[in-house]
Amino acid sequence: MKLWGGRFTKATDKLVEEYTASISFDQQLWKEDIIGSLAHVAMLGKCGIIKEEEASAITEGLKKVAAVIEAGEAEFTISNEDVHMNIEKMLIEQIGPVGGKLHTGRSRNDQVALDMHLYLRARVVELIDLTVKVQEALLEQAKDNTDTILPGYTHLQRAQPVLFAHHLMAYYSMLQRDVERLMDSWKRINIFPLGAGALAGTTFPIDREYVAERLAFDAVYTNSMDAVSDRDFIIEFLSNASLLMAHLSRLCEEFILWMSNEFGFVELDDAFCTGSSIMPQKKNPDVAELVRGKTGRVYGNLMGMLTVLKGLPLAYNKDMQEDKEGMFDTVATLHGALSLFAPMIRTMKVRKEKMRQAVAEDFSNATDLADYLVNKGMPFRQAHEVVGKTVLYCIEWGKYLLDLTLEEYKQFSELFGDDIYAALDPQQVVNARNVLGGTAKNQVEKQIASAFDAVQQNQEWVQAHYKRIDVSLR
Ligand code: ARG
């Protein structure tokens, strides 16, 4: 017998039952569902909507159901459709018909919304926590590499030398924006929908603020139709997740390139690579490749959810049941990627010598040669031309800029002097970019120092929010 069976004269078609049920995936919301119900029933008792003894019986029953599920002994069934009705059925089995009073003043529409808000706010804190751990790993590597110089690239062509620390700190900065976005989204996730009923509110004298406060919500939805129809907070999460994955994916691409023989700039630890079943010499950066690949499904989940919501009239529609799998999948995908990233970065070996050699064998100091002439009074545009010719000459003769004699330099401009060699030294080239945000060592050290402060603030936010949301089954 269905919980909603009264109006029906026939059993549900088996295929319909299977097609419409969400229990196979929404059972992972069981804890949120029971936590929400415990707060709801406490309010029903307090407001005199049901008797206090009834409220206590339901409370005890819900805790027993929780224990059964926790122990892995619960049997969720498709005929009970979703997590809400499965749990209500189990409650009634535990304590009898009084369990049927739990759903007073509530609908599955506001109930599922509550579960999703409870679920996502906790997952977002965990994901921020994991992202901060990646930031820390980047910072540690950056700290160890404030003297490591490698070519910086544009168009994947060697452009100007940079500190490896500077390169890594660019990724730190991307992740800091991700962290800030996720933190900001939290206030839109942490809004309380219960009390909206099916769509219009309820006839019972409920106390929404009481339940909201008990469950540590920041705010209460002020429009019942919005409360049950809002999935913006999920889309916002999927969007933030997509951008975070984009950043991880870009870093993956760098790792993959740097790991190749052609670059040889880093070596990812054996524990974070895999081999080939046929080619014995292979050591592949599979983790980085998979994270790059899994970015696709996260973007897909965002597109999917945007499309589900597009054109849905108010209020609840069954389409909205489609909000869950993409969200769960995104949480799991991010969780996996972020958990692997921190140790993968920490254990990565930086081939400083290879990087240095790459800088010695390129023209990435050509801009500095032009700047040198500018400092001697030549207009930049003319200096650009002179250096262009000098580089061409080098290429013809198989030399680099530091190999040219002063005599050879003088063919291109009388302004060249002895001090040219010092100006072209890679260390000097890097340290000359001593502007705010530039790659000079003291600028990068400043970036790192303020990043350590920001990371500490991030950690404090995470700890404070773990505490806030600790409304575990007590
Ligand atoms: N399983 C449903 C979902 O995930 C719960 C809400 C069902 N509400 C309804 N009126 N059928 O969206």
Active site residues: 155, 276
**Residue 134 is encoded by which pair of tokens?**
């990646």
**Residue 250 is encoded by which pair of tokens?**
């870009």
CATH of the structural domain 109-142+162-203+216-352, one choice from 1.20.200.10, 3.20.20.140, 1.10.10.60, 1.10.3720.10: 1.20.200.10
For the segment 175-200, the average pLDDT, to the nearest whole number, is 98
Confidence tier at 85 by pLDDT (50, 70, 90): very high
Please name the residue ranges forming H helices in 260-404.
Answer: 286-309, 323-346, 352-360, 366-375, 380-397
For the segment 334-353, the average pLDDT, to the nearest whole number, is 98
Query: Which superfamily does 361-424 belong to?
Result: Fumarase/aspartase (C-terminal domain) (1.10.40.30)
Atom 12 of ligand 1, residue of closest alpha carbon: 321
Confidence tier at 178 by pLDDT (50, 70, 90): very high
Atom 10 of ligand 1, residue of closest alpha carbon: 109
Residue 337 to residue 298: CA distance in whole angstroms: 12
Q: Is the dihedral of CA 41, 43, 44, 45 positive or negative?
A: positive
For the segment 176-203, the average pLDDT, to the nearest whole number, is 98
Cα–ligand 1 centroid distance for 474 (angstroms): 27
Confidence tier at 473 by pLDDT (50, 70, 90): confident
Residue 102 contacts residue 58 (beta carbons within 8 Å) = yes
Which residues touch 295 (CB under 8 Å, ≥6 apart)?
Answer: 242, 245, 246, 248, 249
pLDDT in tens, 25-67: 999 999 999 999 999 999 999 999 999 999 999 999 999 999 9
Atom 4 of ligand 1, residue of closest alpha carbon: 321
Ligand 1 pocket (Cβ < 6 Å) reads 22, 26, 82, 108-109, 112, 316, 318, 320-321
CA angle 441, 168, 266 (to 5 degrees): 105
The amino acid occupying position 211 is V
What percent of the chain shows pLDDT beyond 90?
A: 96
Confidence tier at 474 by pLDDT (50, 70, 90): low
In a 3-state reduction of DSSP, which class is residue 192?
strand
Region 5-104: CATH code: 1.10.275.10
Atom 1 of ligand 1, residue of closest alpha carbon: 82
**Ligand 1, atom nearest to 81 Cα:** 1
Extents of the domains making up the chain:
5-104, 109-142+162-203+216-352, 361-424
Cα–ligand 1 centroid distance for 6 (angstroms): 18
**Ligand 1, atom nearest to 198 Cα:** 10
